[in-house]
Structure 1
Amino acid sequence: MSNMHRVQWFDQQIREGNYPNSQRLAYQFEISRRQAQRDIEYLEISLRAPLMYVAKHRGYIYEDKTFVLPHLYMTEEEKDVLRYLSYRYRHYYDDHNSSVQRVAHLLSRFTDEDEEPLKSSRLPLFSANPRLMQYMQLLSYAIKEHVVVQISYKVEGKVSQLHICPLKFVSKYNADYITANCVQQSQRMSFRLDCIESLIVTKQSFTLSLHDMDDEVDASLPVHKPFTARVKFQGVLSEETWNGYPYQLVQENIYDIYFYETQAFLQQLIVAEWTQLLAPKWLKEKLENTCVQMMQRLQSGEERSIGG
C-alpha cells in the first residue's frame, strides 16, 4: 500500500479529533514505527501540514484547521513509473550524488520503494549513459542561451557534419530527440540523441523566429511518415501499445504496427514474441539478413573455439 493511503488516514484521524501518533499509524497499517515516523515527517515537511504535537493527548492536531491535503491520487501505472525513476536515481552515482539521492528519496515517497525492493516489471532497466546525459546538458544550455551547436550525426553508417539551432527536447517511441533548425538544410528537423557522434557548443548565437516560438508548430519525428509492419500474433494485444509501438487491429490477431526507426524495430522483432511478419517485404528481408548475420557470427565463434 502506498504511503499516501497512510497519510490520508492520518489526516482523517486528525480531523476527527483522535490525536493520531506514530504508534497508532504503525499498528493500523502493520508497519514499523520508523516508517510511520517518516510518513508523519513527509506530511509535515513535504506537504507543509501545520502539525502540532499535543503531549497531553500524545498525538497530533492541525494548528491551522483550514489546511487541506493536496490532490495526490495516482494510478498504479503512474506509481510504477515513479518507482522505476526512483530506482534509476538510487543507482546513479556522480559528483553530485547527494542531490541525486534526494531526488530518489522524494520520488520514493509516492511509492513503497522504502519498504520493498524493486520488483520485476515490464518497465525497462536501462543503464545511465554518460554521453547522452552530457549531450542533454550541453543542448539544454544551447537552448537557453540561443547558441549554435556543431554535431557529427550518423545515419545508416554515414556521418554528416551539421550546424543546428536547438529548440527543444522531445521523446518518441523510446528514443530522445532534439528538435532544431538545421543550418545546412535550412529547415526544422529532429535529431536522435544516440545518433550524435560528437557535439560542440559554439559561440555563435541565433535569433528565434515567430515560427520557432510557436508552440503549435512541431518538427516531425522523424521528417517522414511512420513505417507500417503487419504482424500476426498468437492472441489479442491487450495493452495500448506493443512494447511502446502504436498499433491498429486489421483482423483477428493481425495488427499494423507503426514505427520510425528501422534498426530499433528490428531489435524489437528479434526479442519479442509474435507469430508471423506478413509485410512489408523489405522489412522481412532485413530481418532475415540480420538473423543470417547473427548465425554466421555464432558459427564463426564456434569454429574459432574449436580451432583454438
Structure 2
Amino acid sequence: MSNMHRIHWFDEQIRSGRYPNSSLLAREFEISRRQAQRDIEYMAATLRAPLVYMAKYRGYCYEDQTYRLPQLYMTEEEQRVLKYLAHRYRHYDYDRSDAVKRVAHLLERFTEEDSESEGIQEAFPSFSAAPRQLQYRELLSHAIKESRVVHMHYQDHEGERQFPFCPLGFVSRFNADYVAGYETDPLQNMLLRLEGVRRIRLSDERFVCDAAANQSIWERPLPVRKPFLAEILLLEICDADMWMGYRIRERKDRVHTIEFYDADTFEEHLFTSEWEELLAPKWLRQRLQNHIARMAARLDRTNGS
C-alpha cells in the first residue's frame, strides 16, 4: 500500500472533523505507529500541510482550512518511471552522492508498496525511461522473481545473436543500465546492456542460481572515469544543478557545460531534448552529423522507391 493512499485517507479524516492521529492511521492500515508518524511528518515537512495537534481531541486538524493536498495520483506508467529514476539515483556514486540518494528515497516513497508481503526488491533504472526498456525491465523482473530462463535476442559491437539467458539482477553504470546473469551454453557470466536487447521471450524452463559461483558479477569494481564535457547553448538559462538528469558543471549565460559518461545514451538524449546549439566537443558534433546524415540517406531511399 502506497503511503499516498494513507495520506489521502488521513486528509479525508481531518476534513470530516474526526481528528485522526498516528494510532488511528496505524490501526487502519495495519502498519507500525512509527511508520504512521513518518507519514504525518511527511505531510507537514514535504507537502506543507498546516497540521495542528489538538490535545483536547488527541488528534490533528488543519490550521488553514483552505489547504489542499497537491495532486498525488499517478498512473501505473508514471509510477514505473519514478521507480526507474529512484533506482538510478540510489546507485549514483559520484559527486554529492548523499544528496542524490536522499532524492532516491523521496522518489521511492511516492511509489513504495508492501514489498515485504511480495518478497521482492523491485528495480526500474534509467533516466531516459524509454518505453521499450521499461517493458524489458518488467519482463526481466518477472523472470528474475521466478528464476525463469529467457530467450535473448541481443546486439552489440559483435553483431546480433540469440541465446538462452538466466537473469539475476540489474546494474547501473555511467547512465546506462545492464542486466546481470549468465548464459547457459557455454556457461559464462554476462552483463548485458539493456539498450542492446532486441527481443525477449520468457520460457517455462527454471534455473537454480548458484550464488557463490555468480558472486563475481556483483563484485566487479566500477572503473574510475572522468566525465566527458559538452558545451551546449540552451534555449534559456537552467537554474537547477541538473539538466534532464545530467549534471551542469558550469554555466555562462545560456551556455551550459554538461557532464556525461556514456556517449550513446547522451546522443539519444540530445535527439529527444530541446537545445539551440552544440558548441563542443567537436567529436560529438561530428557524431551527431553522421547519425543525421545516415537517417537522411535512408529517408531519401524510401522517398525514391
Normalising by structure 2, we get a TM-score of 0.50
Matched, 1:292 2:297: no
* Cα distance in structure 1, aligned partners of 2:261 and 2:247: 8
Cα 1:124–1:87 shift into 2, 3 Å? same
Which residue is equivalent to 1:118? none
1:141-290 to 2 correspondence within 5 Å? 141-142=146-147, 151-156=152-157, 158-161=159-162, 166-170=167-171, 176-181=177-182, 189-192=191-194, 195-199=197-201, 205-209=208-212, 212=215, 217=219, 220=222, 225=225, 228-234=228-234, 235-249=236-250, 253-260=255-262, 262=264, 264-290=265-291
Tell me how far 1:208 sits from its aligned partner: 1.3
Q: Percent identity?
A: 18
Query: Do 2:178 and 2:194's aligned partners in 1 also have CA atoms closer than 8 Å?
Result: yes
The one-letter code of the counterpart of 1:178 is V
Query: Do 2:175 and 2:261's aligned partners in 1 also have CA atoms closer than 8 Å?
Result: no
Cα 1:89–1:155 shift into 2, 3 Å? same
Tell me how far 1:134 sits from its aligned partner: 2.7
* Cα distance in structure 2, aligned partners of 1:176 and 1:81: 31
Cα 1:169–1:129 shift into 2, 3 Å? closer
Query: Do 1:132 and 1:193's aligned partners in 2 also have CA atoms closer than 8 Å?
Result: no
Which residue is equivalent to 2:17? 20
**1:94-129 per-position Cα deviation (integer Å, ceiling 9, x unaligned):** xxxxxxxxxxxx969xxxxxxxxxxxxxx9794896
Tell me how far 1:189 sits from its aligned partner: 2.7
Cα 1:214–1:148 shift into 2, 3 Å? same
Cα 1:177–1:70 shift into 2, 3 Å? farther
Instruction: Calculate the aligned-residue CA RMSD, in Å.
Output: 5.3
Tell me how far 1:193 sits from its aligned partner: 6.4
Return 278-287 or 186-195, whichever deviates more.
186-195
* Cα distance in structure 2, aligned partners of 1:254 and 1:83: 34
Point out where structure 1 has 5 or more consecutive residues left out of the alignment. Answer: 14-18, 26-39, 51-65, 91-105, 109-122
Query: Do 2:170 and 2:177's aligned partners in 1 also have CA atoms closer than 8 Å?
Result: yes
Query: Do 1:181 and 1:187's aligned partners in 2 also have CA atoms closer than 8 Å?
Result: yes
* Cα distance in structure 2, aligned partners of 1:160 and 1:224: 30
**1:11-37 per-position Cα deviation (integer Å, ceiling 9, x unaligned):** 6x9xxxxx925xxx9xxxxxxxxxxxx
**1:215-266 per-position Cα deviation (integer Å, ceiling 9, x unaligned):** 7x4665xx7957624122245433343222334227663313214261x422
Which residue is equivalent to 1:48? 27
Tell me how far 1:289 sits from its aligned partner: 1.8
The one-letter code of the counterpart of 2:243 is W
The one-letter code of the counterpart of 1:71 is R
Which residue is equivalent to 2:62? none
Normalising by structure 1, we get a TM-score of 0.50
**1:120-142 per-position Cα deviation (integer Å, ceiling 9, x unaligned):** xxx97948965553333123322
Query: Do 2:230 and 2:278's aligned partners in 1 also have CA atoms closer than 8 Å?
Result: yes
Structure showing greater radius of gyration is: 1
Which residue is equivalent to 1:97? none
The count of aligned residue pairs is 226
Cα 1:89–1:273 shift into 2, 3 Å? closer
Tell me how far 1:293 sits from its aligned partner: 3.3
Larger relative CO (CA 8 A, sep 6+): 1 or 2?
2
* Cα distance in structure 2, aligned partners of 1:269 and 1:167: 32
Query: Do 2:150 and 2:200's aligned partners in 1 also have CA atoms closer than 8 Å?
Result: no
Query: Do 1:164 and 1:180's aligned partners in 2 also have CA atoms closer than 8 Å?
Result: yes
